[in-house]
Amino acid sequence: RRGWRKVVTVLEDLEEGCATPVGRLRQVVDAMAVEMHAGLASEGGSKLKMLLTYVHNLPTGMEKGIYYALDLDDTNFRVLRVKLGGQRSTILDHDVERQPIPQHLMTSTTEELFDFIATKLKDFVERQENVSEFSVEETRELGFTFSFPVKQNSSSTGTLLKCTKGFSIEDMVGRDVSQCLQEAMSRNGLNMRVAALVNDTVGTLALGHYHDQDTVASVIFGTGTNACYLERADAIIKCQGLLSTSGGMVVNMEWGNFWSSHLPRTSYDVDLDCESPNPNDQGFEKMISGMYLGDIVRRVVLRMSQESDVFGPVSSRLLVPFILRTPMIAAMHDDDSPNLMEVARILRDTLQIPDVPLNVRKLVVKVCDVVTRRAARLAAAGIVGILKKIGRDRNGGTASSSKAKGGSQSKMRRTVVAVEGGLYTNYTMFREYLNEAMGEILGEDVAEHVVIRDMDDGSGIGAALLAASHSASL
Ligand code: ADP
């Protein structure tokens, strides 16, 4: 087949365009810390929104009782019930039920959507509870995880800024979403109070902190990506005066929108962005999250196929956006069979490219590797950016910025970052590259004090924990 040399050139160009030597990663680290500063200094001061959450206290592990959570994203909602025994790290029991949201409700009215959710929640409560657990007049406490852009007014209230993902309920924009839910629960005779309204990253941070008090940040790597962390109140300049300067507050970074000229960007990224429904938006997310990695790989394979015969005639499937999903590139990347049978299967079944010789299959694996390695290393740089902002990236000596708190050379504080999401949990190579890059950027002597901890189901359970810690502090 003709064109092997051309295909190799496409691969070499890709590798060069995606290169992430540690020096460049450190530039991304610095850019992240700078943008965080800017976003905290003034509203609109950075592409990072740095949203206030009004969460000042994270769960300690001492919470007690039964709490509920509702986790609403674009396609599903989950209801959870968590039983806490007051002993750190023991969650006595939790039950989860996941339900799809009927398509017509995603574009109906706020009342219809929330009535539907409230009735399902009520059914769940009635199925779960023993008669004795709650008396008639006793109010249950609920944590509400709502993963859409919200301007919080307190830790339990906030207004929807815009409908995103598959949602299109225009009358909800500008309304207080927890009040909408609260009213629906009352209409449906459910005695429950929204005690916390949280973003999914905040839920993950809460669960992380419940298990381990050294947890200072959380990151989600799923279909999308986002991060939040615990900031000193006096560093949140844009709302000085509103907050007491002692203590801290969790800040929701909305880091998917991070951008820096130091990010290694290829023509595939530019095309993906241009053809997306939100060009110039979510630039970081488009390089690192599960929604996009598969499509970057598809674009590279398409270019290779157009420039050579090594894949046979150009398959029309290769022209279909998002046909190659990230779990498929993970499966190809993880294929350890000597003949790369999984790669052959996906090329044949998904892309309708049959009979691909072994050297070409290897090439496809290499493309997955380059794209995912860049994603994972940039993700690591983002995390270190957060650590740098809060002075947890150094052990005295080497690293730059001033004002290191405490931390003498000998006593480096342990730092935990809670991580959640299908990309991180399921894609082994993404996880390994991320951890490897953390070590490279921080240096091993610092990296040994930084723990990345997988927080399965954090966003839901964490919301229930926040409901607990907030109701306890009332
Ligand atoms: P959410 O859609 O709310 O982010 P998850 O955290 O479960 O939910 O993440 C799902 C995403 O994780 C998928 O869209 C996909 O991109 C990614 N993912 C799921 N399974 C795998 C897998 N086996 N390998 C790689 N990525 C995966």
Tens-place pLDDT, residues 341-355: 999 999 999 999 999
Place of tokens 């009927």: 102
Ligand 1, atom 16: closest residue by C-alpha: 290
Helices (H), 129-199: 177-187
Establish if 472 belongs to a structural domain.
Answer: no
Query: Looking at per-residue confidence, does 369 or 135 come out higher?
Result: 369
Establish if 468 belongs to a structural domain.
Answer: no
Query: Looking at per-residue confidence, does 74 or 466 come out higher?
Result: 466
For the chain, what is the domain count? 2
| The residue type at 36 | M
Tell me if 223 CB under 6 Å of ligand 1: yes
Question: What are the residues facing 249 on neighbouring strands?
Answer: 231
Q: Are both 27 and 66 inside the same structural domain?
A: no
* φ/ψ (deg, to 5) at 377: -70, -35
- Residue 399: its pLDDT value, please? 41
Percent of the chain topping pLDDT 70? 92
Q: Are both 276 and 420 inside the same structural domain?
A: yes
Closest CA to 361 of 337, 380, 379: 337
Establish if 173 belongs to a structural domain.
Answer: yes
Angle at 390 between CA 453 and CA 48, to 5 degrees: 90
Tell me if 423 CB under 6 Å of ligand 1: yes
Tell me if 429 CB under 6 Å of ligand 1: no
Give the residue numbers annotated as catalytic, written as ranges.
78, 147, 200
Q: Best of 78, 200, 223 to mutate for ligand 1, by most ligand atoms within 8 A of CB?
A: 223
Structure confidence by residue, pLDDT tens digits, 221-246: 999 999 999 999 989 999 876 666 66
Q: Are both 41 and 112 inside the same structural domain?
A: no
Give the confidence band of 410 by pLDDT, cuts at 50, 70, 90.
low
Give the confidence band of 96 by pLDDT, cuts at 50, 70, 90.
confident
Q: What is the mean pLDDT of residues 422-432?
A: 97
Structure confidence by residue, pLDDT tens digits, 297-342: 999 999 999 999 999 999 999 999 999 999 999 999 999 999 999 9
Closest CA to 423 of 414, 415, 434: 434
Distance 450 CA to ligand 1 centre (A): 25
Helices (H), 275-325: 283-288, 290-307
Q: Are both 64 and 159 inside the same structural domain?
A: yes
Angle at 55 between CA 50 and CA 60, to 5 degrees: 130
Q: Are both 126 and 221 inside the same structural domain?
A: no
Q: What is the mean pLDDT of residues 60-87?
A: 87
Distance 405 CA to ligand 1 centre (A): 37
Q: Are both 165 and 81 inside the same structural domain?
A: yes
Give the confidence band of 202 by pLDDT, cuts at 50, 70, 90.
very high
Establish if 335 belongs to a structural domain.
Answer: yes
Q: Are both 46 and 101 inside the same structural domain?
A: no
What dihedral angle (degrees, nearest 10) is formed by the CA atoms of 392, 397, 402, 403?
A: 60
Say what the pTM is.
0.93
Q: Is 153 exposed, middle or buried (0-12, 13-18, 19+ CB in 10 A)?
A: middle
Q: Are both 4 and 118 inside the same structural domain?
A: no
Q: Are both 250 and 135 inside the same structural domain?
A: no
Tell me if 216 CB under 6 Å of ligand 1: no
Distance 131 CA to ligand 1 centre (A): 38
pLDDT at 159 over 80: yes
Give the confidence band of 165 by pLDDT, cuts at 50, 70, 90.
low
List the domain range (segments joined by +) for residue 218: 1-53+212-456
Highest mean pLDDT among 71-80, 194-203, 231-240: 194-203
Structure confidence by residue, pLDDT tens digits, 378-397: 999 999 999 999 999 987 64
Percent of the chain topping pLDDT 90? 75
Note whether 180 and 172 are within 8 A (CB): yes
Tell me if 421 CB under 6 Å of ligand 1: yes
Paired tokens of 319 = 């022209």
Atom in ligand 1 nearest the alpha carbon of residue 147: 3
CATH code of the domain covering residue 113: 3.30.420.40
Lowest mean pLDDT among 49-53, 235-239, 320-324, 357-361: 235-239
pLDDT at 152 over 70: yes
Atom in ligand 1 nearest the alpha carbon of residue 220: 6
Q: Best of 201, 286, 326 to mutate for ligand 1, by most ligand atoms within 8 A of CB?
A: 326
Establish if 125 belongs to a structural domain.
Answer: yes
Atom in ligand 1 nearest the alpha carbon of residue 325: 16
Distance 40 CA to ligand 1 centre (A): 30
Q: Are both 10 and 78 inside the same structural domain?
A: no
Q: Are both 40 and 108 inside the same structural domain?
A: no
Distance 323 CA to ligand 1 centre (A): 15
Establish if 206 belongs to a structural domain.
Answer: no
Q: Best of 325, 334, 426, 454 to mutate for ligand 1, by most ligand atoms within 8 A of CB?
A: 426
* φ/ψ (deg, to 5) at 80: -135, 155
Q: Which residue among 176, 198, 220 closes a domain?
A: 198
Q: Which residue among 147, 166, 198 closes a domain?
A: 198
Residue 103 gets the label, from left (phi > 0), alpha (psi -120 to 50) or beta, of alpha
Q: Are both 274 and 225 inside the same structural domain?
A: yes
Q: How far apart are CA 62 and CA 307, in angstroms?
A: 62
Q: How far apart are CA 404 and CA 401, in angstroms?
A: 8
Tell me if 222 CB under 6 Å of ligand 1: yes
Q: How far apart are CA 219 and CA 226, in angstroms?
A: 6
- Residue 51: its pLDDT value, please? 93
Paired tokens of 329 = 């590139």
Q: Kindly give the pairing relationship between strand 415-420 and strand 215-221.
A: parallel
Ligand 1, atom 8: closest residue by C-alpha: 222
Ligand 1, atom 13: closest residue by C-alpha: 223
Q: How far apart are CA 319 and CA 196, in angstroms?
A: 44
- Residue 397: its pLDDT value, please? 42
Structure confidence by residue, pLDDT tens digits, 283-301: 999 999 999 999 999 999 9
Establish if 463 belongs to a structural domain.
Answer: no
Distance 423 CA to ligand 1 centre (A): 5
Give the confidence band of 169 by pLDDT, cuts at 50, 70, 90.
confident
Tell me if 203 CB under 6 Å of ligand 1: no
* φ/ψ (deg, to 5) at 45: -75, -10
Q: How far apart are CA 227 and CA 253, in angstroms?
A: 6
Give the CB-side neighbour count of residue 67, counting CA atoms within 13 A: 29
Paired tokens of 421 = 């999401």
Place of tokens 């003949």: 339
Highest mean pLDDT among 1-5, 130-134, 170-174, 296-300: 296-300
Tell me if 455 CB under 6 Å of ligand 1: no
Q: Three-state SS string across 271-288, please?
A: HHHHCCCCCCCCHHHHHH
Tell me if 326 CB under 6 Å of ligand 1: yes
Q: What is the ipTM of this complex?
A: 0.99
Establish if 207 belongs to a structural domain.
Answer: no
E-state strands within 178-265: 192-198, 215-221, 225-232, 248-252
Q: Which residue among 140, 171, 198 closes a domain?
A: 198
Distance 412 CA to ligand 1 centre (A): 34
CATH code of the domain covering residue 221: 3.40.367.20
Tell me if 439 CB under 6 Å of ligand 1: no
Question: What are the residues facing 417 on neighbouring strands?
Answer: 217, 452
Question: What are the residues facing 51 on neighbouring strands?
Answer: 252
- Residue 359: its pLDDT value, please? 96
Distance 426 CA to ligand 1 centre (A): 7
